[in-house]
Structure 1
């Protein structure tokens, strides 16, 4: 599947509403006034996607003075260039895989590994709380369908990641943080990811919610962060994934009814996914700073197959 730079850029910012864009701009320390300047963006309903095409002339037509118009136009250009760098060198998954010595154009050509898991009890406090939060979301947003947007998908991902991270912190006694919409800068690419897990300032893993564009999301993860989440394993001798046996959760309103098979399936599958996420995160935190241990860990994965 060939993916153009424009398509990739749009995918990165498609879930930026006006307030998210304004929050981003405030972080850039542009010294703009909330009422005087950002209210203009609100009134004009400028989203992240439309901001990428902002010019100084267009901003002036909205009522901005010369100084703020110049600053915002420059910021739009800078953001657009950063997003382009993230994928501009790669037009297909095949080219991304070739970077890692894999001759193929699909996820199926990547070797598999059995992921590390951490056994959770059915009554684990964080698991139970996660199920409750997922049910709250189901009650408010309804069943998640195949064409549900990324923002809705991320609502469920967020609940699972937060619960998993709490468990890892409980196990390892280490300080970890979850950063949404973090810009990841690497040697060959730059891009904003949906979620990044960090130990202090060290990036442990990234997670994307673009399951409706699996191939592009997979390629994006490969070029943005050589780390282990999304069930992708990076090692000195190449990459591996667990896509042969995908872990799926069906978010259906039927799961809201106590005792139905759908509720039991929801609990079972959320638990299964969390066990893998906790296992991979714990494993990454434990050995990330020890190359020899990391090499032994990777060898151990494949000895289990």
Structure 2
């Protein structure tokens, strides 16, 4: 899948890089505060995050995604929804995405990655993005479908809960943040020893997700065509 998307070799760091759109999140935002309280509570109840299983990691991923959606909805006044374990069918592949965020169209696909092999998550996410892109294309109006200037794109996320990778899928290629570190130290020691760093890292990830959602929602609602912000 990586080779098919014009990646030189199988190393994800060879994917062309992009700087994700970022939305500054207020420290006083209620959804963000609730997310932090939820994360801290969950960390206090989990024995360890070392080698945590998929279900445990999903607890933290979900908290961050729900907070991001709540903030994006407030900022855009648009209906944005999350769908868990969504079946997505395309021309070449079908599959189930761990989380899909949608409005008028699919906006963002999130794949839970494997802690020691994030490349597998990339391959899965790209297949899901390709299928979602084809689904969106079928839903377009005739004017959009025949407008040569119309340029669609989707965002993807591959995450282990602690490690977050952001992807842009376009018909002409893919871009990612594989060369940058977006990490959240989800440990009991982080809560005890450096709670401000934990808060800052969570806010940074939420700010990116909100920024991506705002950008993609604006494409759906704008009467003029837009290109991916790469």
Q: TM-score when scaled to structure 1?
A: 0.61
For 1:236 and 1:218, how far apart are their aligned partners in 2? Answer: 17
Residue among 266, 276, 290 paired with 2:208: 276
For 2:6 and 2:199, how far apart are their aligned partners in 1? Answer: 39
Q: Is residue 2:85 matched to residue 1:153?
A: no
SS in 1 for 2:48: coil
For 2:56 and 2:111, how far apart are their aligned partners in 1? Answer: 13
- Give the equivalent residue in structure 2 for 1:221: 125
Superposed counterparts of 1:1-305, under 5 Å: 96-145=1-50, 147-200=51-104, 202-212=105-115, 213-226=117-130, 227-230=154-157, 231-257=166-192, 260-261=193-194, 263-288=195-220, 293-295=225-227, 297-298=228-229, 301=230
- Does structure 2 retain, via aligned residues, the 8 Å contact 1:229–1:277? no
Deviations 1:63-119 (A, max 9, x none): xxxxxxxxxxxxxxxxxxxxxxxxxxxxxxxxx123223331110111100000001
**Higher RCO (C-alpha under 8 Å, 6+ residues apart):** 2
- Does structure 2 retain, via aligned residues, the 8 Å contact 1:142–1:252? no
For 1:294 and 1:182, how far apart are their aligned partners in 2? Answer: 27
Q: 1:291 to 1:217 in 2, by over 3 A?
A: farther
Q: Which has the higher helix share?
A: 1
SS in 1 for 2:107: strand
For 1:290 and 1:237, how far apart are their aligned partners in 2? Answer: 22
For 2:47 and 2:93, how far apart are their aligned partners in 1? Answer: 37
Structure showing greater Rg: 1
SS in 1 for 2:3: helix
SS in 1 for 2:197: helix
Deviations 1:138-188 (A, max 9, x none): 11113311x211111111000000000000100111111111111111111
For 1:121 and 1:141, how far apart are their aligned partners in 2? Answer: 28
Residues paired across the two proteins, number? 198
For 1:160 and 1:280, how far apart are their aligned partners in 2? Answer: 14
SS in 1 for 2:9: coil
For 2:7 and 2:224, how far apart are their aligned partners in 1? Answer: 24
For 2:223 and 2:36, how far apart are their aligned partners in 1? Answer: 36
Per-residue deviation, 1:228? 0.3
SS in 2 for 1:154: helix
Q: Which has the higher strand share?
A: 2
- Give the equivalent residue in structure 1 for 2:143: none
Per-residue deviation, 1:292? 6.2
